[in-house]
Structure 1
Amino acid sequence: MIILETERLYLRPYRKEDVHTLFSIFSDAETMVYYPAPFNLEQTQNWIKKNQERYEKDGFGLWGVCLKETDELIGDCGLVKQIVDGRMEVEIGYHIHKKYWSNGFATEAATGCKEYGFNQLGLTKLISIIDPRNIPSIRVAEKNGFTKEKESFIFNKNHCIYAGKVQ
């Protein structure tokens, strides 16, 4: 089942068999530098399970990002409920395998998720929670039309909250 398509990508729900591809992304220290630590296999399995639960509970979550040309899973992107400063917000989150960095895939997937959130789900605001040192993710948020709204202490450290609203 395809959730959404962009020019070069499609996003679909996680499958159990995605674990090894996602583990190759989430276990990489460079990819996960802004997380407390890279994921082990069990954490990756739990990541998939948690998002599958989100699909059932919220109707969305992080989805697998696949190249249309090859059907290869290259990362994830999607919508996740987060509590920021006591308010429920919906975040666009993403991870792309580092061998595909600097090709615009994160921006393309994030833009697709923004359009899905606004047009399909009727949301009026979306955010991205970004470590202030994560310049590539800040660029993705800005290319997606998001602007820095504030800084918040979340996930045990300070993060920039970038936001976009329906125009």
Structure 2
Amino acid sequence: MTTLQTKRLFLREFIDDDFPSLYEIFSDPEAMKFYPAPFSQEKTKEWIKNNQKRYKEDGFGLWAVCLQDTGECIGDCGLVKQQFIDRTEIEIGYHIQRKFWGYGYATEAASVCRTYGFKELEKDRFISIIKTGNIASVRVAEKIGMQKEREDYIFGNYYDIYSVLKNNEVKIDRDVKF
């Protein structure tokens, strides 16, 4: 079971008991503003199962983002394979419960995932697929060293594709533990 740690967070594989924490995000219209619609309970459960399957098949996926001091699951962050027409890319994705927005948790979690991917998985590049207009997600991507690469029409909408290369990696938090 993968566990990543920072000063304030740890990331671990999802368990079925994480459903209430994730459903708090996925059922929130404000948190899901840049998705086609909030998730139902069934879609949230399916989302957990899909990530549990990714751990087995890919060796990574989106992980539960938990507070170090309480163990509370406050969101997700991790690495997900995305299939484009001509290639497969690995995306750094993240969602944090709205009551925890503005504390830098998404940036902290995304940063440790980027570092893990470069060092432990030996990947050279990551992307983030961000719906045009999602300024908060753009800020997180830029803080972990990503730059806008292009705009793409995927999933039936326009998205900005941000990317970061291993040789352009930003400063790594020395307190990160794998």
* TM-score tier (shorter): over 0.9
Equivalent residue, structure 1, for 2:101: 101
Structure 1: gaps (5+ residues):
none
Query: In the aligned structure 1, how far is the partner of 2:84 from the partner of 2:164?
Result: 15
| Corresponding residue number in structure 1 for 2:39 | 39
Where 2:151 maps in the other structure, the secondary structure is strand
1:74 match: secondary structure = strand
Structure 2 distance, partners of 1:123, 1:151, is: 23
Cα distance between partner residues in 1 of 2:142 and 2:26: 24
Tell me how many residue pairs correspond in the alignment: 167
Shift of 1:87: 1.3
Question: Secondary structure of 1:32's partner?
Answer: coil
Alignment partner, residue 123 of structure 2? 123
Match status 1:68 vs 2:68 = yes
1:134 aligns with 2:134: yes
Which one scores higher on RCO, CA 8 angstroms, separation ≥ 6? Answer: 2
- Contact 1:85/1:152 (CA < 8 Å) preserved in 2? no
Kindly indicate whether the alpha-carbon contact (under 8 Å) linking 1:107 and 1:143 is maintained by their aligned counterparts in 2. Answer: yes
Unaligned runs of 5+ in 2: 168-178
Partner of 2:10: 10
**Residue-by-residue CA offset, 1:53-76 (whole Å, 9 max, x unaligned):** 000000000000000011000000
TM superposition score normalised by structure 2: 0.92
Distance 1:152 1:2 in 2: 32
CA distance in 2, matches of 1:132, 1:36: 13
One-letter identity of the residue aligned with 2:117: G
